[in-house]
Structure 1
Amino acid sequence: MFSSGKSNQYDLEDRTHLFAKNVRALVKKLNKTISNIEDGKQLIRSSGSVGANYIEANEALSKKDFLMRIKICRKEAKESRYWLRLIDTQNKDELERERIDLENEATELMSIFGAILRKVENKK
C-alpha cells in the first residue's frame, strides 16, 4: 500500500462514498428532461468511479499501479464536476445549492488526489 496513512485512507473512502451517494440523491430530484437524464447517467458513473478507483488504489500492487489509480480518481472527480455544471436545476434554490455544494466537493476531491500524486511522486 502506498497511501500516506491508514486513518486518512479510510476517511477518504468514506468521503468519496458519501459524494457518490449525494450525487445520486440530487439526480433523483432533478426534472426528467432528456438532457438531465443523459447528463445524470454520466454524473452517476463518474461520481461512483472516484471512490471505486480509490479503493483499488489502496489495494495497488505497485507504486505505478497506485499512481495510475489516483490519477483516475482525479480525472473522474474532474469529470463529475463537469457533469454537475451541465445539469439543469431550473433555478430551484435548494437543488442549485446542492449542485454547487457537490461541485465544490468534486473540486476539493480533485485537489486532494492531486496532492496525493505530488507527495508520492516526490518520494522517488
Structure 2
Amino acid sequence: MKKDNIIQIKSYNFAIRIVELYKDLNVNKREFILSKQLLRSGTSIGANIEEAIGGQSRKDFYAKLTISYKEARESHYWIRLLKDTNYLSQEQYDSLIFDIEELLKIIGSIQKTIRNS
C-alpha cells in the first residue's frame, strides 16, 4: 500500500472498524441483519478503491470510484439506522459518521477533479 494514498489508507482503516463492529454486534447484541448489510457496504468501499487504483483506464478508475461513493452512501445509511435502533452508542455513532463523511468528501472531491479535467 502506498504510504501517501490517503483514500486507500482511510478506506482500509474504515473497513477494519466495520469488521470489528460487525463481530461485536453479532456476539454482544445478537444483531445479524443490519450489521451484515453494513459489513458488505463498509468493506466494499476500500475494495473498490483498490480496483480503481488498479484500473486499466481513466474511465475504469472513475467507474470504480463511483461504486465506492455509492457504497459509502449506503454505509452512511446503515450507521444511522443502527444508531436510531439503539444498536450503536452515541460515541460509536459519532466516530463512525465522522469517518464515513470524511470518506464521502474525499471520494467526492476526487470524482469532481476527474470530471473537471
Q: 1:26–1:98: 8 Å Cα contact kept in structure 2?
A: no
Give the letter aligned to residue 116 of structure 2.
N
Matches within 5 A, 1:94-109: 95-109=89-103
- When the two chains are superposed, the root-mean-square deviation of aligned CA atoms in Å is 1.9
1:42 aligns with 2:67: no
Higher relative contact order (CA 8 A, sep 6+): 1
Q: Cα 1:91–1:54, aligned 2, differ >3 Å: closer, same or farther?
A: closer
What SS is found at the alignment partner of 1:56?
helix
Alpha-carbon distance in 2 for matches of 1:70, 1:90? 32
Structure ID, larger Rg:
1
Q: What's the counterpart of residue 57 of structure 1?
A: 52
Structure 1 portions without partners, runs of 5+: 1-5
Cα distance in structure 1, aligned partners of 2:90 and 2:71: 21
For normalisation by structure 2, the TM-score amounts to 0.85
Corresponding residue of 1:117: 111
Match for residue 90 of structure 1?
A: 86
Distance 1:45 1:108 in 2: 19
User: Runs in 1 of length 4+ with deviation above 6 angstroms?
Assistant: none
Identity %: 35
Separation (CA, whole Å) in 1 of partners of 2:18 and 2:3 = 25
TM-score, reference length from structure 1: 0.81
Which residue of 59, 68, 76 corresponds with 1:73? Answer: 68
Counterparts in 2 of 1:26 and 1:99: CA distance versus 1, 3 Å: farther
Q: Aligned match of 1:19 in 10, 14, 25?
A: 14
The whole-number CA distance in structure 2 between the counterparts of 1:96 and 1:65 is: 38
